[in-house]
Structure 1
């Protein structure tokens, strides 16, 4: 390919275009074959419609045979078969209504439905009359003179529908085949036209390319001198730019040293802020623990108060029981005195009972005395409980006051921790910014170094460009020979 002219290369491109065109034609024929298959599928559906239409004839004949058998022998089985045949017939009619598209064919289908309904209307009275006849002697008893014409009309309408559907199938087949053939011819013609157009375009491209390349070579020859002069100026400017970039690199190095010192100072400040924040957090944790201990003490004090109050309630309950015992002792004493009085008038037997009553009265007196002593003890217990509750409440108030003071101290430590965290964040931002600045300065330093290097390379490239421009005129002549113009 390196030794070929552009004309030969374009000729080869034309050959590839022809090959692609042939591939396009083959693909088009394949596509048309698929279209023909789709056409056959459509015709197959039409044939299915034809089969359904012919099936109408079969169902109608089956129904006629069934109701004739019923009219002759009166067997209910044939009557059921007649009804079943009519239902299947009507289902076929509904199916054909959903598939048929031709208006004339649909009209014939509606005529079939109408004649079937008329036939059913004429046949129904005959069937009803046959149900009343138990012994059929002569068919004339049924008066079925109108059934025959209605049946013939139904058969004619079904036959007309079947004929029309068959004609539609044949017409669709012929039309589809004709359209497919026309499509194949059209694609072949388009392929030939594409080949002719490809040849014409290749010829025009070959001619225009030769003209344009010749004109471009002339411009290249005239521009090579200008390129050589520009390369000389670029070499001189590159040397000056290299000197300036050396001074810039020195300044950036000094700035980089300063940025690193700032970053180190900011890092030390950030370390001090972190230590302060850690100490504040430790104090906050200690105060939290103290608060938890005070809360536990408060809980225990509350429990003591509750127990003391419960003890007071129990002492009141015991006092109630003691009052009841005192009342019982007084009543027992009164009963013992009454018993002694009654026993004094009862003689010998009463004296024994009087001794028992006297003992009961003494027991009641001792019980009353014991109740008074218990009452006094309960009063003492109540006083001690009240004193303990008051002292406990005073201690609880002191605990609450201490807890509030610890809360204030905790809030102060938390504010200190927040301020230290804010200071730490600000210091980290300063450190990060300084590091970013240092990175940016380093990148600028690298870029300046790269720029200086590129400047030196540009100077060398300018010298090489000057040499390349000298060879450009010779190469333009070779290009003219390559495209076949034969002039320099």
Structure 2
């Protein structure tokens, strides 16, 4: 299936190809038209030169006749002008006839006749000057000059007729070429308009279909994102509640540890009375053992909650990856929509505004995703720290349990070992202080974890709100794309 970009490229390629074809045909037509115009101009010049030759020959003939009759030199001015102008006119006419062999032959014939007539005129003028008017008149009466002049007129007339016919033919070619250029431009313009119209309709349908499909996909993804955000918020609330309960338990455990430390100090002071209270002390040790077991269970519960929080953090990371990918796709769609809106001109201005809002929303989603990812990383770090602290507390509890076992064994022999009991009391005091310190550290870690859970809950709410806004924007975009023209 062709993508929208490929369809757009094909449409522009066809339009460009048609434009190039019209340009080439128009250029060729204009070139042919220019060549024909040049030929017409040259034919006009040839006709003008041919007429000039006949006119100069008439002037020369009239000039020499006037001189023969009157003998006045002033009558020879046109003759002398013809002697000067004829060679130049003949040399200019010859290149104008080079593409017509028949005209070249007539030109050579006319040139020979002109040379003969001019020689005859010179001979008569010389006769008039040397032998007088009568001798010159006798030569004129022979009729040779008139015969040659008539022959020259016939040849020049043929040349003029030939150039006139050629001029008409080339004028018809110019008109035909001009009509071809006009038709090429008109039909090429019509074909280009039809092609652009067809491409516009095709691209409009493709844009509506593809963008509509993408918007529906965004709607589905928004719904999934919102559901995941709600689930994340619920998990964060549960985690926060669990952290509060654990913190309360740890606070109670801390108070108990401090009480044990105070009791251990008092045990040192009343060690001398330990023998009489050995049996009661055994019961107290049993209670202490149960308390330590309870501590052990609470710590295990804390570890379980921390691990569960870690797993949920990983799930949140997966959701954030999906959100990031969705934001990137939305941004790409918004950019493509902006490009298409720009191509559409004024008709796509409203669509461009919507595409810009979608791109801004995608940028906000990307920024929120980065913030949430940073907070999740903080939560993971806090969870790891808590787990390590919990393991330390667990080891301390195990050590306390073993120490209490030793104390219980010692209490079995307490009747005769009061000194040993005092040492054991001091060990109990030291162990309870260490336990209190560990519990305080655990309490701080749990407070940080609870704060991170609350921040995660707030971020989940923001993610849910963003997903809702994205879904609403997707519906608006879908209504805009699928709107029917009124």
TM-score by length of 1: 0.40
Rg larger for: 1
